[in-house]
Amino acid sequence: MNLLQKIRQNAILNQMRIVLPEAFDERTLKAANIILKEGFAKIILTGSPTKIEADAKRLKLEYLHKALIINPKEHTKKNEYAKLLVEIRKKKGMTMEQALKLVEDPLYLAALIIKSGDADGEVAGAANTTGDVLRPAFQIVKTLPGISVVSGAFFMFVNNKTHGEEGLLLFADCAVNPNPTAPQLAEIAVATGRTASAIAGIEPRVAMLSFSTKGSAKHEMVTKVAEATAIAKKMAPDMKIDGELQADAALIEVVANKKSPNSPIGGQANVLVFPSLEVGNIAYKLVERLGDAVAVGPILQGMAAPINDLSRGCSVEDIVNLVAITANQAQIK
> Quick one: 171 or 256, whose CB is closer to ligand ACO?
171
Q: Which stretch binds ligand ACO (CB under 6 A): 49-57, 79-87, 142-150, 159-167?
A: 142-150
Exposure letters 69-107 (e unless 16+ CB within 10 A, then b) = bbbbeebebbeebbebbbebbeeeebeeeebbebbebbb
Exposure letters 292-331 (e unless 16+ CB within 10 A, then b) = ebbbbbbbbbbbbbbbbbbbeebebebbbbbbbbbbbbbb
Site for ligand ACO in 249-288 (CB under 6 A): 281
Site for ligand ACO in 303-322 (CB under 6 A): 311
> Quick one: 87 or 203, whose CB is closer to ligand ACO?
87
Kindly write out the interface string for residues 38-57 of this chain, putting x where it contacts ligand ACO by CB under 6 A and - elsewhere: --------------------
> Quick one: 63 or 138, whose CB is closer to ligand ACO?
138
Interface residue with ligand ACO among 10, 71, 139, 223 (CB under 6 A) is 139
Nearest distance from residue 137's CB to ligand ACO, in Å?
8
Kindly write out the interface string for residues 22-41 of this chain, putting x where it contacts ligand ACO by CB under 6 A and - elsewhere: --------------------
Cα 306 to chain centroid, rounded? 8
Examine residue 212 and tell whether it contacts ligand ACO (CB under 6 A).
no
Q: How many CB atoms lie within 10 A of CB 259?
A: 19
Give CA–CA dist 193/195, Å, rounded. Answer: 5
Exposure letters 148-171 (e unless 16+ CB within 10 A, then b) = ebbbbbbbbbbeeeebbbebbbbb
- Give bridge partners of residue 154 from the DSSP assignment: 171
Q: How many CB atoms lie within 10 A of CB 201?
A: 12
Kindly write out the interface string for residues 72-111 of this chain, putting x where it contacts ligand ACO by CB under 6 A and - elsewhere: ----------------------------------------
Residues 6+ apart with CB under 8 A from 223: none
Examine residue 328 and tell whether it contacts ligand ACO (CB under 6 A).
no
Q: Which stretch binds ligand ACO (CB under 6 A): 3-11, 16-24, 137-145, 157-165?
A: 137-145
Phi, psi dihedral angles at 159 (to 5 degrees): -70, -35
Return the amino acid letter for 331. Answer: Q
Collapse the DSSP code of 74 into the 3-class scheme (helix H, G, I; strand E, B; otherwise coil) and give the result. coil
Examine residue 331 and tell whether it contacts ligand ACO (CB under 6 A).
no
Give CA–CA dist 213/68, Å, rounded. Answer: 52
Interface residue with ligand ACO among 18, 36, 123, 149 (CB under 6 A) is 149
Give CA–CA dist 106/9, Å, rounded. Answer: 29
Q: Which stretch binds ligand ACO (CB under 6 A): 32-40, 134-142, 156-164, 195-203?
A: 134-142
| Secondary structure (DSSP) of 99-121 | HHHHTTSHHHHHHHHHHTTS-SE
Collapse the DSSP code of 97 into the 3-class scheme (helix H, G, I; strand E, B; otherwise coil) and give the result. helix
> Quick one: 94 or 255, whose CB is closer to ligand ACO?
94
> Quick one: 81 or 171, whose CB is closer to ligand ACO?
171
Contact 250, 272 (CB under 8 A): yes
Examine residue 138 and tell whether it contacts ligand ACO (CB under 6 A).
yes
> Quick one: 48 or 181, whose CB is closer to ligand ACO?
181
Nearest distance from residue 254's CB to ligand ACO, in Å?
33
> Quick one: 187 or 227, whose CB is closer to ligand ACO?
187
Q: Which stretch binds ligand ACO (CB under 6 A): 60-68, 131-139, 263-271, 324-332?
A: 131-139
Q: Where on the chain is the footprint of ligand ACO (CB under 6 A)? A: 130-131, 134-135, 138-139, 143, 149-150, 175-178, 281, 298, 311
